[in-house]
Amino acid sequence: MIDKSDIGMWEKLRRHRLAYYYILPSAIVMALITAFPILYQIWMSFTNFNITNLRNPHPDFVGLGNFIKIFTNKVPLENFNFWRIFAFDVFWTFSNVFLHVTIGISLAVALNTPRLALKKFYRTLLVIPWAVPSYISALIWKNMFDVDFGAVNQILSNILNMTVKIPWLTNPNAPIKIFPFLSYAFYADLITNVWLGFPFMMVVATGALQSIPHEIFEAAEIDGVNERGKFFKITLPLIRSAMLPAIMLGIVWTFNQFNVIYLVSGGGPLGTTEILVTQAYKIVNPGGLYGVASAFGLIVFFILLAITLITNRITRATE
C-alpha cells in the first residue's frame, strides 16, 4: 500500500507550487552567483586553464594532472611543498587554538572574581584586539617585528639592556631546535594571532562562567574543596558545553587565517609560514595557474569538510 507520506516528488512540487514561486528569484540569484562559480571551478580543476584562457575559455583537459602535480610537489612555484604546508597549517591551527583557549579561560576566570575593582574597564581593554579590524592590527604587528627598527626588538633591547636583533620576519631558520620546521616568522605570526584571538574565547568563557550559580561554589567550599579542585571539578565541566562550539569555530577560522599570515609574514621567508589558503592565493597571483589553483581549492574544501564532519560528531557527542 502507498503510504500518504510516500507521495511522488512531482506531487509534492505541485502541492507547494506557490512556495517554489516565492523562492524562485533568490534561487536564480543563488544559482548564478554561488552554484555556477563552484561548478565552473570544478571544471577548471581538470584543465590547464591559465591567464590566456580568461577571454578564450578553451583550455586543454588534463584529467587528474593538476591534483597529481599538487600531491607530488610539481607545481612550478618557488618553495612549493603541499605536505609541508598542510602539516604546518595543522600545527599552526592547534598551537593557536590551544593558546587562545588557555589564555581566554584564565583571563575570564580572573575577571570573574567577585567584587574585583574596575572589572568593566579590564574587560573593555581586553576585548580591544577583537574590536580593531584584523588587517590593521596585522600590519601594525608586521612593522613592530622589523629587525632594526621594530618596537618588539627595541623594547626587548631596553628590558635586557643589550642590543636585541631577532630577525623575526627575515630568517627562515628555526630559533627553537626541537621544532626545526618552525621559522622565526612562525612565532611572529603566532604572537600576532594569539593577541587577536584570545578575546573571543574570553568573551565566550565569561558568558558561560556567569551562568554557573554561586551556590555550587559555596557548597564546594563547605565540603572543603580547594581553589584548584573548584576550577577542575566545577568550572571546567560546566563551561565545557559552551566552549566546545567556540573551539571548533576557532579551529576553522585559524586554519584559514589569511589576514595574519599574508600581512605579517607573507608566507615567507622562503615559504616557511605558508598555509593552504595563502598558497592557493599565490598559485593564482602571481603564479597565474588557474587550473592548478582550482584543484588546490577543491583539496582545501575536502580537508575542511573532513574537519567539519569530525567537529559535528564531537559536538553532537556532548549534547
Partner 1 sequence: MKKVLLVLLVVAMVSSFFVGCKPKPQPVTLTIWHSWSGAELDVLNEAITEYQNQHPEITINQLQVPFDQLQNKYQTEAAAGGGPDILVGPADWIGNFAKANLIASLDSYFDAAFLADYVPGAIEQVKFNGSMMAFPESTECVALIYNKSLVQNLPKDTNELVTLVDSITQGDTYGFVYNSGFYFTAGYFFASGMKLFDSNNNAIVNQGDGGVKTLTFLKNLASDPKFIVANDYGKADSLFKEGKAAMIINGPWAVGDYVKALGDKVGVAPMPVFAETGNPFAPFVNTKDFFVNANINDTQKKAAADFIKFMVSKDVEQKFFEKAKHIPSNVKVDTSSDPIIGGFLEQMKTGVPMPIIPEMGAVWDPMQTAIDSVLASKATPQDAINTAETTIQDKINASRGQ
Q: Which 275-304 positions form the footprint of partner 1 (CB under 8 A)?
A: 285-286, 288-289
Q: Is residue 170 involved in binding partner 1 (CB under 8 A)?
A: yes
Instruction: List b or e across 140-165, with b for residues whose CB sees 16 or more CB atoms inside 10 angstroms.
Output: ebbebbbbeebebbeeeeeeeeeeee
Among 76, 207, 229, 237, binds partner 1 (CB under 8 A): 76
Judged by CB under 8 A, the number of residues near partner 1 is: 26
59, 65, 102: which is closest to 250 by C-alpha?
Answer: 102
Candidate ranges 3-11, 195-203, 214-222, 266-274; the one touching partner 1 (CB under 8 A)? 266-274
Residue 224: which region, alpha, beta or left (left: phi > 0; alpha: psi -120 to 50)? left
Q: Is 203 in the site for partner 1 (CB under 8 A)?
A: no
37 vs 9: CA distance, rounded Å = 28
Residues 6+ apart with CB under 8 A from 220: 229, 230, 233, 234
Judged by CB under 8 A, the stretch of 46-54, 81-89, 219-227, 252-260 that binds partner 1 is 46-54
Q: Among 104, 141, 109, 145, which Cα is nearest to 126's?
A: 104
Q: Is 52 in the site for partner 1 (CB under 8 A)?
A: yes
CA distance 190 to 10: 55
Q: Does 173 bind partner 1 (CB under 8 A)?
A: yes
Least separation in angstroms between residue 60's CB and partner 1 is: 7
Q: How far is the CB of 293 from partner 1 (least distance, A)?
A: 12
In the complex, least distance from residue 78 CB atom to partner 1, rounded to whole angstroms: 4
Taking the C-alpha atoms of residue 319 and residue 303, their distance in angstroms, rounded to an integer, is: 25
Q: Which of 73, 79, 81, 112 binds partner 1 (CB under 8 A)?
A: 79
Least Cβ distance, residue 53 to partner 1 (angstroms): 8
Q: Under the criterion CB under 8 A, does residue 77 sit at the interface with partner 1?
A: yes
**Can you tell me the distance from the alpha carbon of 293 to that of 235, in angstroms, rounded to the nearest whole number?**
46
Among 250, 198, 271, smallest CA distance to 94 is for 250
- CA–CA separation, 193 and 214 (whole Å): 34
Bridge partners of residue 61, in order along the sequence: 47
Q: Name which position in 20, 78, 232, 240 contacts partner 1 (CB under 8 A).
A: 78
- Give min distance, CB of 178 to partner 1, in A: 19
Q: Check residue 148 for interaction with partner 1 (CB under 8 A).
A: yes
Query: What is the smallest separation between the CB atom of 186 and partner 1, expressed in angstroms?
Result: 14
Q: Can you read off the three cell numbers belonging to residue 19? A: 512556495
* Interaction site with partner 1 (CB under 8 A): 48, 50-52, 54-55, 60, 74, 76-79, 146, 148-149, 170-173, 268-270, 285-286, 288-289
